[in-house]
Structure 1
Amino acid sequence: MEYVGIVLISHSEKVAEGVQEIIRQVIHDVPIATAGGTDDGEIGTSIDKINAAIDSAYSEKGVLLFYDLGSAKMNAELAIEFAGRDNIKLVEAPLLEGSYVAAVESSTGKDLGTIIQNVTKDF
């Protein structure tokens, strides 16, 4: 079965990996990739890391991007533009709670639009 993928974007590599670790406690099959910190390991975000994470988590069902702070959103939007695919979406929901719900929804086979609706209705 193919699943909607999840990308976790954070200014901190440790935060992104921690969120992934929490999700992996219950969800094992959904592709989840992290893009935390800058290319040189500092606090910040990297378009290159985001692009690599999109490629890693991508499936034909699409991929959802979750972020922590405003500049991460800007870099995610640029990465989506560079990717040039319609089924890559930035989700306006809290990084941990939103991505966790999205992973659960994806694991049940739901489509991109349904997952976005279900994730964002509570936030």
Structure 2
Amino acid sequence: MSIPERRVGIVLVSHSDALAREAAALVRQIAGAHARVAPAGGTDEGGCGTSADKIAAAVEEVDQGAGVVLIPDLGSSVLTARLFEEPGSVVIADVPFVEGAISAAVLAATGAPLADVLAAAQEARTYRKL
């Protein structure tokens, strides 16, 4: 089975640039080379918070025409991410940050459609560690 060239992209929206970058690196290591993952963390000035400009750039980076899943970490990152919602094109996943990102990216790397990638991320809400 061949993997489609256009895959769903994943954007990790965090209050922390370092957290977003490191989480994206972890997700890429687990999901593999076909995963389209970009971090969007911190403010434009390098502080704690979120940036619409960083989210826009990350969406543009990973968008291959198959859709984008935004995964915010908490609080106001959700509000900022909502500025980019476009049903059927850019969606927000209300999921645990790391587990949801990994689940979404692993399935997205296979070429699965946006609805399936979002559902995979949402399944992470039920994962138990013990």
Answer whether TM exceeds 0.5 for this pair.
yes
> What is aligned with 1:8?
12
Aligned residues between the structures? 120
Normalised by the size of structure 1, how large is the TM-score?
0.91
* Residues 122/17 of structure 1: CA separation in 2 closer, same or farther (3 Å cut): closer
Q: Does 1:18 align with 2:25?
A: no
Q: Does 1:36 align with 2:41?
A: yes
Letter in 1 for 2:47: E
> What is aligned with 1:111?
113
Separation in structure 1 between the aligned mates of residue 120 and residue 21 of structure 2, nearest angstrom: 24
> What is aligned with 2:128?
none
Deviation at 1:122, TM superposition (A): 4.0
Q: Secondary structure at the match of 1:108?
A: coil
Q: Note the aligned Cα RMSD (angstroms).
A: 1.3
Letter in 2 for 1:92: D
**Segments ≥4 residues shifted beyond 4 Å:** none
Matched residues, percent identical? 37
Where do 5+ consecutive residues of structure 2 fail to align? 126-130
Match of 1:96 among 92, 95, 98: 98
Deviation at 1:109, TM superposition (A): 1.5
* Residues 24/118 of structure 1: CA separation in 2 closer, same or farther (3 Å cut): closer
Separation in structure 2 between the aligned mates of residue 96 and residue 69 of structure 1, nearest angstrom: 12
Q: Secondary structure at the match of 1:6?
A: strand
| Counterpart contact for 2:15–2:42, Cα < 8 Å | yes
Where do 5+ consecutive residues of structure 1 fail to align? none
Normalised by the size of structure 2, how large is the TM-score?
0.86
Deviation at 1:23, TM superposition (A): 1.3
Deviation at 1:118, TM superposition (A): 2.3
Letter in 2 for 1:62: G
